[in-house]
């Protein structure tokens, strides 16, 4: 049994990260024969992509994916720690699984992802949630087959969580959720330690993948007909800063664009590491989508300092305005936290003012949620939840107004859309995303799925557009 330790997770060791090739021991490759699995994913794209690896590993073991959780032989929850409600969802699901396990004794339940890296969570699993049969963490995802085998051999709760990241694992199998859009990790972990955030503890220190491995993966995707890649990392602009090399995010973006993949996206960008060279490259290559997620978190320089974000309101706005000026037709989205400890009415007004200035195309807004062991959870917080909810409502009213206004400006224009699929109502009711990452619904033949087509915008809503297929 290996349990998580925050003390170890906090340390940033200097050891060189080496690359290790994924290998599944041949002796266990029939373990899942004739059995079904169901993976439930919470959290961010990083977790979604990890689940694509988990599914592929399970299928190598012979398991078959089931769309019905209740009847599956193996259920894995890939969890998220970012806010309390993410926790609650996973614990709620564990409650449901307890009942299910009472009726089906042979059901196997596993838990992984960011919650597995939390000391408190694993402690609860050991003492209260005995229905969980095995736990593995974010640093040893590739060990799933072995952790599962250990559980099956011993039939005792198996917990294997490493608190210090190990090597970079290359060559893990992947079962991609889409045949035309793909996630490609370019880095793991985060060294920023924003004071409210648990990610540096759950994902470890920043480790960039080697450019050769990333480009090889993208080229294979191009060969397989993929239309879009999203380069993933908690802090993609810091790509390469953990190597002693001059090859940085702008160079990687340029090389990925040169593979001629029709669409390149990347997330998430921390304003701190956003260079002028990156802006130039994004503006230069038409296949790098003019859509940037640029989390601001707060419009108050005082709160930004308490958050450890390393920029002031003015510096953020300078970057924001530069991006808008240099990249034609760019859309910018953001994340904002309200009710950070000590946020005054005046601080909040600064956030509203910033939202009015930036007129974001999209924004994810959250009430601050204290996370175990982070620096901010020790700060005094006197604002009531009711007040925080009021602030969130006020902020949402403003950001929503601009989503709609920005969308309305597109009515009558023709936009390029990568067609994702059809909705549940019917096979001809298609949807996709524009260059600027706006959801658009329109009618068309199913055969358009996976293609980039032109759609004329006919109507605008707050969170989506309606259109007509024109070509
Ligand atoms: N790496 C990204 C953010 C990843 S987490 C970045 O730095 O921009 C996604 C978002 O969740 C964050 O941008 C932040 O707005 C929000 N978030 C993170 N920790 C939070 C907390 N403790 N309470 C509320 N929101 C939080
Ligand atoms: Fe969290 Fe900050 Fe790292 Fe983003 S940059 S993952 S908010 S610590
Ligand atoms: Fe959640 Fe972990 Fe992602 S905390 S947001 S799943 S990195």
What was the pLDDT predicted at 30? 86
- What is the distance in angstroms between the CA of the first residue and the CA of the last residue of the chain? 59
Q: Give yes or no for residue 203 CB within 6 A of ligand 1.
A: no
Q: Give yes or no for residue 238 CB within 6 A of ligand 2.
A: no
User: Rounded to whole angstroms, how far apart are CA atoms 23 and 434?
Assistant: 39
According to CATH, the topology of domain 6-160 is Rossmann fold (3.40.50)
CB 355 within 8 A of CB 336: yes
Mean pLDDT of the chain: 96
Cα(84) to ligand 3 centroid in Å equals 12
Residue whose CA is closest, atom 1 of ligand 3?
80
Query: 2, 117, 163: which is closest to 371 by C-alpha?
Result: 117
Confidence of residue 349 (pLDDT cuts 50, 70, 90): very high
Confidence of residue 336 (pLDDT cuts 50, 70, 90): very high
Which of 233, 236, 295 has the most ligand 1 atoms within 8 A of CB, as the residue to mutate? Answer: 295
Q: Give yes or no for residue 270 CB within 6 A of ligand 2.
A: yes
Q: Is 36 helix (H, G, I), strand (E, B) or coil?
A: strand
Mean pLDDT for 173-202 is 97
Instruction: Enter the pTM of the model.
Output: 0.96
User: Rounded to whole angstroms, how far apart are CA atoms 71 and 116?
Assistant: 25
What was the pLDDT predicted at 15? 78
Atom of ligand 1 nearest to the CA of 336: 15
Query: 98, 114, 2, 128: which is closest to 51 by C-alpha?
Result: 114
Mean pLDDT for 439-461 is 97
Confidence of residue 302 (pLDDT cuts 50, 70, 90): very high
Confidence of residue 24 (pLDDT cuts 50, 70, 90): confident
Strand partners, 159: 135
Residues whose CB is less than 8 angstroms from the CB of residue 393 and which lie 6 or more positions away in sequence, other chains included: none
Residue whose CA is closest, atom 5 of ligand 2?
192
Confidence of residue 244 (pLDDT cuts 50, 70, 90): confident
Cα(359) to ligand 3 centroid in Å equals 27
70-124 pLDDT tens trace: 999 999 999 999 999 999 999 999 999 999 999 999 999 999 999 999 999 999 9
What was the pLDDT predicted at 29? 78
Residue whose CA is closest, atom 2 of ligand 1?
234
Q: How many CB atoms lie within 10 A of CB 352?
A: 17
Atom of ligand 3 nearest to the CA of 86: 1
Q: 6-160 with 414-470: one CATH topology? A: no
CB 393 within 8 A of CB 352: no
Mean pLDDT for 213-242 is 97
User: Rounded to whole angstroms, how far apart are CA atoms 353 and 247?
Assistant: 37
Confidence of residue 18 (pLDDT cuts 50, 70, 90): confident
Q: How many CB atoms lie within 10 A of CB 56?
A: 14
CA torsion, ordered 54, 58, 61, 66, to nearest 10 deg: -170
User: Rounded to whole angstroms, how far apart are CA atoms 287 and 435?
Assistant: 9
Domain at 414-470, CATH class: mainly beta
The sign of the dihedral angle between the CA atoms of 63, 68, 74, 79 is: positive
What was the pLDDT predicted at 449? 97
Q: Where are the beta strands (DSSP E) in 47-132?
A: 64-65, 74-79, 108-113
Q: Using H for helix, E for strand and C for coil, what is the string for 139-182?
A: CCHHHHHHHHHHHHHHCCCEEECCCCCCCEEECCCCCCCCCCEE
Q: Is the bond preceding residue 268 a cis peptide, omega within 30 degrees? A: yes
Q: 325 exposed, middle or buried (CB, 10 Å; 0-12, 13-18, 19+)?
A: exposed
What was the pLDDT predicted at 395? 98
Cα(158) to ligand 3 centroid in Å equals 23
Answer yes or no: is pLDDT of 14 > 80. Answer: no
Locate 462 and state its tokens: 């707050």
Q: Where are the beta strands (DSSP E) in 211-300?
A: 228-232, 263-267, 291-293
User: Rounded to whole angstroms, how far apart are CA atoms 450 and 105?
Assistant: 42
Q: Give yes or no for residue 293 CB within 6 A of ligand 1.
A: no
Residues whose CB is less than 8 angstroms from the CB of residue 402 and which lie 6 or more positions away in sequence, other chains included: 355, 359, 360, 361
Q: Give yes or no for residue 197 CB within 6 A of ligand 2.
A: yes
The domain limits of the chain are 6-160, 290-408, 414-470
Mean pLDDT for 59-75 is 97
Q: Is 272 helix (H, G, I), strand (E, B) or coil?
A: helix
Mean pLDDT for 218-222 is 98
Mean pLDDT for 23-43 is 91
Mean pLDDT for 312-336 is 98
What was the pLDDT predicted at 436? 98
Cα(42) to ligand 3 centroid in Å equals 8
Question: Which ligand has the shortest distance to the CA of 297?
Answer: 1
Question: Which ligand has the shortest distance to the CA of 115?
Answer: 3
CATH entry 3.90.105.10 includes domain 290-408? no
Q: Give yes or no for residue 196 CB within 6 A of ligand 1.
A: yes
Atom of ligand 2 nearest to the CA of 190: 3
Confidence of residue 423 (pLDDT cuts 50, 70, 90): confident
Residue with tokens 């969980």: 132
Strands 429-434 and 439-443: antiparallel
Which of 12, 80, 190, 196 has the most ligand 2 atoms within 8 A of CB, as the residue to mutate? Answer: 190
Q: Give yes or no for residue 193 CB within 6 A of ligand 2.
A: yes
CB 400 within 8 A of CB 356: no
Answer yes or no: is pLDDT of 471 > 80. Answer: no
What was the pLDDT predicted at 424? 83
Confidence of residue 245 (pLDDT cuts 50, 70, 90): confident
Q: Give yes or no for residue 47 CB within 6 A of ligand 3.
A: yes
Q: Give yes or no for residue 46 CB within 6 A of ligand 2.
A: no
């Amino acid at each position: 049994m290996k349990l998580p330790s925050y003390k170890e997770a906090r340390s940033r060791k200097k050891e060189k990260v080496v690359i290790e090739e994924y290998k599944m021991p041949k002796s266990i490759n029939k373990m899942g024969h004739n059995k079904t699995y169901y993976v439930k994913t919470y959290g961010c794209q990083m977790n979604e992509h990890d689940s694509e690896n988990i599914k592929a590993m399970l299928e190598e073991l012979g398991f078959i994916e089931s769309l019905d959780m209740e009847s599956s032989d193996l259920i894995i929850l890939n969890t998220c720690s970012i806010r309390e409600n993410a926790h609650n969802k996973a614990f709620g699901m564990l409650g449901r699984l307890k009942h299910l396990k009472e009726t089906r004794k042979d059901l196997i339940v596993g838990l992984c992802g960011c919650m597995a890296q939390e000391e408190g969570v694993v402690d609860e699993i050991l003492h209260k949630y005995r229905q969980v049969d095995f736990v593995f963490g974010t640093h040893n995802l590739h060990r799933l087959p072995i952790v599962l085998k250990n559980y099956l051999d011993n039939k005792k709760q198996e917990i294997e969580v490493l608190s210090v990241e190990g090597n970079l694992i290359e060559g893990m199998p992947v079962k991609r959720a889409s045949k035309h859009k793909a996630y490609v990790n370019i880095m793991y972990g985060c060294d920023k330690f924003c004071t409210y955030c648990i990610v540096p503890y759950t994902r470890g220190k920043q480790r960039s993948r080697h450019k050769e491995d990333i480009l090889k993966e993208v080229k294979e995707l191009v060969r397989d007909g993929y239309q879009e890649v999203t380069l993933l990392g908690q802090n993609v602009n810091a790509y390469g800063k953990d190597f002693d090399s001059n090859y940085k995010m702008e160079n990687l973006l340029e090389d990925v664009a040169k593979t001629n993949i029709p669409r390149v996206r990347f997330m998430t960008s921390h304003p701190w590491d956003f260079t002028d060279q990156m802006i130039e490259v994004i503006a230069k290559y038409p296949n790098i989508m003019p859509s940037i997620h640029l989390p601001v978190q707060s419009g108050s320089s005082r709160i930004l300092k308490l958050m450890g974000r390393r920029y002031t309101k003015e510096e953020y706005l300078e970057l924001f305005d530069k991006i808008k000026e240099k990249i034609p037709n760019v859309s910018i989205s953001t994340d904002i936290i309200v009710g950070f400890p000590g946020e005054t009415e005046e601080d909040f007004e600064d956030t509203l003012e910033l939202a009015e200035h930036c007129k974001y195309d999209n924004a994810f807004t959250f009430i601050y949620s204290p996370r175990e062991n982070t620096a901010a959870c020790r700060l005094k917080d006197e604002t009531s939840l009711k007040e925080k909810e009021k602030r969130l409502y006020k902020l949402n009213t403003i950001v929503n107004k601009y989503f709609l206004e920005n969308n309305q400006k597109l009515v009558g224009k023709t936009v390029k859309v990568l067609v994702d699929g059809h909705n549940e109502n019917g096979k001809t009711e298609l949807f996709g995303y524009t260059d600027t990452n706006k959801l658009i619904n329109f009618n068309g033949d199913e055969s358009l799925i996976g293609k980039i087509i032109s759609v004329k915008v006919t109507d605008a809503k707050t969170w989506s557009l309606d259109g007509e297929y024109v070509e």
